[in-house]
A and B are shown apart, each in its own frame.
Chain A
Amino acid sequence: MIRFENVTKVYARGARPALDAVDLEVERGEFVFLVGASGSGKSTFLRLVLREERPTAGKVFVAGRDLSTLSTWKVPHLRRQIGAVFQDFRLLPNKTVFENVAFALQVIGKPRHHIMTTVPDTLELVGLGGKEKRRPHELSGGEQQRVAIARAFVNRPSILLCDEPTGNLDPTTSVGIMRLLDRINRTGTTVVMATHDDEIVDQMRKRVIELDNGQLVRDQSRGVYGSTR
């Protein structure tokens, strides 16, 4: 589903690479934790998958497509197959929960009847049934993140990228979010989640990829947060 071939990303000329010759493959339906110290290149990895950035060297393949040869006007189509969730939720404050989720479908031109059925289903799935009319400021952090997840998932992407989705949440709320992500993963969606949350990683026992200064230093199935070397 996602394949990195010897990918190096250098932001500024002469700077230390944010990613350094990373080689890895994520299979369809996998759940992968991306861990590593701050600045180790986790967000850079995710941005490369979204083609928000392009690699300085090497090749990135997503859903069978070589992103280096993907023309700019096809990028939107790539992104329709990828959902993305962030630490800061990124909701639209003056739209309701329903509108925030529907927005993702409206802007890719989905027909109204499709939106009217899919959005409530998705809100139900993330556990926000009955809160459609609230605005983001009337929700708890955990609920806001659920809205963000609903928005990322409402178009049923094959890949869900999460950049520290529990970074702003307390441990109990985080567990709820993790259950949700796990459920989404079990529908067949590939999930890649960058995180600093050791408890969650240790609990979930999924594949763990560790980056250190841009280099891939560990790739462990059913791994834990701390290095076991």
Chain B
Amino acid sequence: MRLQFILSEIGLGLRRNLSMTISVVLVTFVSLTFVGAAGLLQLQIDQMKDDWYDKVEVSIFLCPSDSDAPTCVGGEATADQTEALREQLESEALEPYVEQVFYESKDDAYVAFQERFADEWWAQGVTADQLQASFRVALVDPEQYQVVSDAFTGVTGVEEVRDQRQVIEPLILVLNRSSLVAAGLAAVMLLAAVLLITTTIRLSAMSRRRETGIMRLVGASNLFIQLPFMLEGAIAATIGAALSVAGLWFGVRYLVEDWLAGEVQFVQYIGTDAVWTIAPILLVVAIGLAAVSSVVTLSRYTKV
């Protein structure tokens, strides 16, 4: 009886304020989509950091035979120069920073190159001599790249010191900024959602003042009086959350997995499973929104 009664009251309330209900659904939908987008961007950033920061190495490219760099006027790096560099890398001064040093000779580079571009027709024409030897330096702390870079930039026989992080960092920065923008928009939209849900519940409570007045008079408990309003808000917000999860899922599925992954291949992308990771958070936010709004409103409108 209780449950059935409460459900019918809820249905009544939702239908009575149909346009308000729809607007609550839409506002939570949009705001949670922004929240979710911000969350997904963060997941993407984390994934890229995880993927890359571990693998990130500082590459010290040795001079090839035909370099224009001022440090390479002496032509190809000699065995002595290479040995000196290795010693310096393994010296005590750099020990706290350097985790591991790996020397990639021209032949190694050639093997790796052929492996990587095995399917490309143009790779066939490349010979080992066209490639260059390098030291691959794994750092204890990837943030400390500058120390190694300073030590080797400008040294004779070194064409270039390159930190792979420099390639990724701008991308991560862009993503971070977008995530911030999304979070900012989300905050504004969430505020709008709270205000709208508050108004909706208030209207709903006012339009049913007669009923709630009688309920109080005959001794219905506070919870019983307030529950339908709370659930109304919660249901509308939950539908909004479900829509946003669906929206994000389709977004990731078709924009990221199908399109972006095909266009820009060097990045590992998040997949639709990431959407499922943030879906519970969105749901909790939605229900939290509704709960906060109803507590604020109902304590005023349905007092004993």
B-binding residues in A (CB < 8 A): 50, 72-73, 75-82, 84, 90, 92, 103-104, 106-112, 115, 151-152, 155
CA distance A104 to B86 in the complex (A): 89
Contact check, A108 vs B304: say whether CB atoms are below 8 A apart. Answer: no
Q: Is B178 among interface residues, defined by CB-CB distance under 8 A?
A: no
CA distance A110 to B1 in the complex (A): 7
Beyond A79-B219, A109-B1, whether A72 also contacts B304 by CB under 8 A is: yes
Beyond A109-B1, A112-B1, whether A79 also contacts B214 by CB under 8 A is: no
A-binding residues in B (CB < 8 A): 1-2, 5, 210-211, 213-222, 224-225, 304
Closest 7 CB pairs between A and B? A79-B219, A80-B219, A107-B220, A104-B218, A76-B219, A112-B1, A107-B215
Chain B hits for A111, CB < 8 A:
1
In the complex, what's the smallest C-beta–C-beta distance from A47 to chain B, in angstroms?
11
CA distance A34 to B222 in the complex (A): 31
Which of B1, B219, B221 touches A106 (beta carbons < 8 Å)? Answer: B1
Which of A73, A79, A92, A110 touches B217 (beta carbons < 8 Å)? Answer: A79
In the complex, what's the smallest C-beta–C-beta distance from A170 to chain B, in angstroms?
26
Given A79-B219, A108-B224, A152-B218: 18 more A-B contacts, CB < 8 Å: A75-B219, A75-B304, A76-B216, A78-B219, A79-B216, A80-B218, A82-B219, A90-B217, A92-B214, A103-B214, A104-B214, A106-B1, A106-B2, A107-B215, A108-B220, A108-B221, A110-B1, A155-B218
Contact check, B215 vs A115: say whether CB atoms are below 8 A apart. Answer: no
CA distance A152 to B210 in the complex (A): 15
Chain B hits for A72, CB < 8 A:
304
Which of B210, B211, B304 touches A76 (beta carbons < 8 Å)? Answer: B304
Chain B hits for A112, CB < 8 A:
1
Chain A hits for B2, CB < 8 A:
106, 109
Contact check, B224 vs A73: say whether CB atoms are below 8 A apart. Answer: no
Whose C-beta in chain A lies nearest to the C-beta of B215? A107
Chain A hits for B5, CB < 8 A:
106-107
CA distance A104 to B5 in the complex (A): 12
Whose C-beta in chain B lies nearest to the C-beta of A154? B218
Contact check, B224 vs A109: say whether CB atoms are below 8 A apart. Answer: yes
Chain A hits for B210, CB < 8 A:
90, 92
Chain A hits for B216, CB < 8 A:
76, 79
Chain B hits for A75, CB < 8 A:
219, 304
CA distance A12 to B5 in the complex (A): 39
Whose C-beta in chain A lies nearest to the C-beta of B218? A104
CA distance A72 to B221 in the complex (A): 10
In the assembled complex, 22 residue pairs joining A and B whose CB atoms fall closer than 8 Å, in A order, are: A76-B216, A76-B219, A77-B219, A79-B216, A79-B217, A80-B218, A84-B217, A90-B214, A90-B217, A92-B211, A92-B214, A103-B214, A104-B218, A106-B2, A107-B5, A107-B225, A108-B218, A108-B220, A109-B1, A115-B1, A151-B214, A155-B218
CA distance A81 to B217 in the complex (A): 11
Chain A hits for B211, CB < 8 A:
92, 103
Chain B hits for A73, CB < 8 A:
221-222
CA distance A152 to B214 in the complex (A): 10
Whose C-beta in chain B lies nearest to the C-beta of A77? B219
Whose C-beta in chain B lies nearest to the C-beta of A82? B219
CA distance A108 to B215 in the complex (A): 8
Whose C-beta in chain B lies nearest to the C-beta of A86? B217
Chain B hits for A78, CB < 8 A:
219
Whose C-beta in chain A lies nearest to the C-beta of B224? A107
Chain B hits for A84, CB < 8 A:
217
CA distance A108 to B218 in the complex (A): 8
Contact check, B222 vs A50: say whether CB atoms are below 8 A apart. Answer: no
CA distance A2 to B211 in the complex (A): 27
CA distance A76 to B225 in the complex (A): 11
In the complex, what's the smallest C-beta–C-beta distance from B16 to chain A, in angstroms?
11
Whose C-beta in chain A lies nearest to the C-beta of B12? A94
CA distance A93 to B187 in the complex (A): 42
Chain A hits for B219, CB < 8 A:
75-82, 108, 155
Contact check, B220 vs A76: say whether CB atoms are below 8 A apart. Answer: yes
In the complex, what's the smallest C-beta–C-beta distance from A69 to chain B, in angstroms?
15
In the complex, what's the smallest C-beta–C-beta distance from B272 to chain A, in angstroms?
44
Whose C-beta in chain A lies nearest to the C-beta of B217? A84
CA distance A76 to B218 in the complex (A): 8
CA distance A104 to B190 in the complex (A): 38
In the complex, what's the smallest C-beta–C-beta distance from A104 to chain B, in angstroms?
4
Residue among A73, A76, A78 with max Cβ neighbours from chain B (10 Å): A76
In the complex, what's the smallest C-beta–C-beta distance from B11 to chain A, in angstroms?
14
Chain B hits for A79, CB < 8 A:
216-219
CA distance A98 to B225 in the complex (A): 21
In the complex, what's the smallest C-beta–C-beta distance from A215 to chain B, in angstroms?
28
Whose C-beta in chain A lies nearest to the C-beta of B211? A92
Chain A hits for B215, CB < 8 A:
107
CA distance A73 to B224 in the complex (A): 12
In the complex, what's the smallest C-beta–C-beta distance from A105 to chain B, in angstroms?
8
